[in-house]
């Protein structure tokens, strides 16, 4: 199975970049599935039904979220109707609508996707390792799912790295989101799980992690607020990771970064 994961979509620039590049990447890489983190898709904070549909129309099979899952109130009801939209699985029971994990029929494959929120330097939810352990126990690789993707939305690379090793041999890919900067550590762990600490964002890299640079710079240099953060509007770059799995084991045999767009050096796997 071949699939790709694309990192946090930030505002209109990110959505336009997804629309511009993902359909061609899906074709050129012969992808069976595409997963996109969309927690910043709507004006940089949260997601709406309209912005989610833009990502689905561009080729997303599943959208994951993060700490901004419900910044737009409409997401509270949309997520109850849309099983392809996942919020972190480790919300305390009964506190959040929607699903945190699901198994999808993707052509001839069954593809499990799970979204989890880290706790280091974040608003802490329930134990992410316990939640992921339960999800993997309930849906063993190959027995239930042909491939498994874990999106850990977290601040600390150490926590993401630990999650990779925790899932090694039980998931096809563990990939980090939230930091908006692609990490250079794409690899396959010893027991066959592909890993990247952060997929990077899909958005305008000319500002500060996807936002227009003026307000972040003001706050850093003066400690004063001049307004709210607004997403950058220049041409965006798409960042993510490509994974190919062994159909007999569900484990990764290939993992490579994807970067294509306005500013970062282009990196596209070749078949």
Q: How many CB atoms lie within 10 A of CB 14?
A: 32
Confidence at 2, pLDDT banded by 50, 70, 90: very high
**CA pair distance 114, 230, nearest whole angstrom:** 29
Output the pLDDT for position 248.
Answer: 97
**CA pair distance 71, 117, nearest whole angstrom:** 15
pLDDT in tens, 112-159: 999 999 999 998 899 999 999 999 999 999 999 999 999 999 999 999
For residue 209, tell me if it sits in a domain: no
Cut 0.75: pTM above it:
yes
Q: What is the CATH number of the domain that holds 95?
A: 3.60.21.10
How many domains would you assign to the chain?
1
C-alpha 15: how far from chain center = 14
**CA pair distance 200, 209, nearest whole angstrom:** 9
Q: What is the CA radius of gyration of the chain?
A: 17
Beta strand pairing status for 62-64 and 85-86? parallel
Domain range enclosing 50: 2-204+233-261
For residue 239, tell me if it sits in a domain: yes
SS (H, E, C) the chain: CEEEEECCEEHHHHHHHHHHHHHHHHHHCCCCEEEEECCECCCCCCCCHHHHHHHHHHCCCEEECCCCCCCCCCHHHHHHHCCCEECCCCCCCCCCCCECEEEEEECCEEEEEEEEECCCCCCCCCCHHHHHHHHHHHCCECCCECEEEEEEECCCHHHHHHHHHHHCCCCCEEEEECCCCCCCCCEECCCCCEEECCCCCEECCCCECCECCHHHHHHHHHCCCCCCCCECCCCCEEEEEEEEECCCCCCEEEEEEEEEECCCCCECCCC
Q: How many CB atoms lie within 10 A of CB 147?
A: 28
For residue 11, tell me if it sits in a domain: yes
For residue 95, tell me if it sits in a domain: yes
For residue 268, tell me if it sits in a domain: no
Q: Indicate the burial class of 107 (C-beta count within 10 angstroms; 0-12, 13-18, 19 or more).
A: exposed
- Average pLDDT across the chain, whole number: 96
**CA pair distance 177, 209, nearest whole angstrom:** 12
For residue 126, tell me if it sits in a domain: yes
For residue 224, tell me if it sits in a domain: no
Confidence at 30, pLDDT banded by 50, 70, 90: very high
Judge whether residue 226 has pLDDT over 90.
no
Output the pLDDT for position 53.
Answer: 97
153 is catalytic: no
For residue 198, tell me if it sits in a domain: yes
pLDDT in tens, 49-87: 999 999 999 999 999 999 999 999 889 999 999 999 999
Confidence at 40, pLDDT banded by 50, 70, 90: very high
Taking the CA of residue 88 as centre, how many other CA atoms within 13 Å lie in the half-sphere pointing to its CB? Answer: 30
What torsion do the CA atoms of 203, 209, 213, 217 make, to the nearest 10 degrees?
Answer: 180
Residue in 68, 153, 178, 180 annotated catalytic: 68
């Amino acid at each position: 199975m071949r699939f790709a994961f694309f990192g946090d979509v930030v505002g209109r620039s990110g959505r336009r970049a997804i629309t511009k590049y993902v359909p061609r990447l899906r074709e050129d890489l012969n992808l069976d599935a595409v997963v996109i983190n969309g927690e910043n898709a709507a004006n940089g904070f949260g997601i709406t039904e309209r912005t989610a549909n833009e990502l689905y129309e561009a080729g997303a099979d599943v959208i994951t979220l993060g700490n901004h899952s419900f910044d737009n109130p409409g997401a509270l009801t949309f997520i109850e109707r849309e099983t392809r939209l996942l919020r972190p699985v480790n919300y305390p029971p009964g506190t959040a609508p929607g699903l945190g994990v699901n198994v999808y029929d993707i052509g001839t494959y069954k593809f499990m996707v799970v979204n989890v929120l880290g706790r280091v330097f974040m608003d802490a939810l329930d134990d992410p390792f316990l939640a992921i352990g339960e999800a993997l126990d309930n849906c063993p690789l190959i027995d239930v799912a042909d491939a498994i993707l874990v999106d850990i939305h977290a601040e600390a690379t150490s926590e993401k790295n630990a999650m990779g090793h925790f899932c090694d041999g039980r998931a096809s890919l563990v990939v980090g989101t939230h930091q908006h900067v692609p990490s250079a550590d794409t690899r396959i762990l010893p027991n066959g799980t592909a890993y990247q600490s952060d997929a990077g964002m899909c958005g305008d890299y000319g500002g500060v992690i996807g936002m227009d640079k003026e307000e972040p710079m003001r706050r850093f240099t003066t400690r004063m607020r001049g307004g709210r953060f607004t997403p950058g509007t220049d041409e965006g770059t798409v960042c993510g990771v490509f994974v190919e799995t062994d159909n007999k084991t569900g484990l990764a045999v290939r993992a490579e970064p994807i970067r294509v767009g306005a500013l970062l050096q282009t990196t596209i796997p070749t078949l």
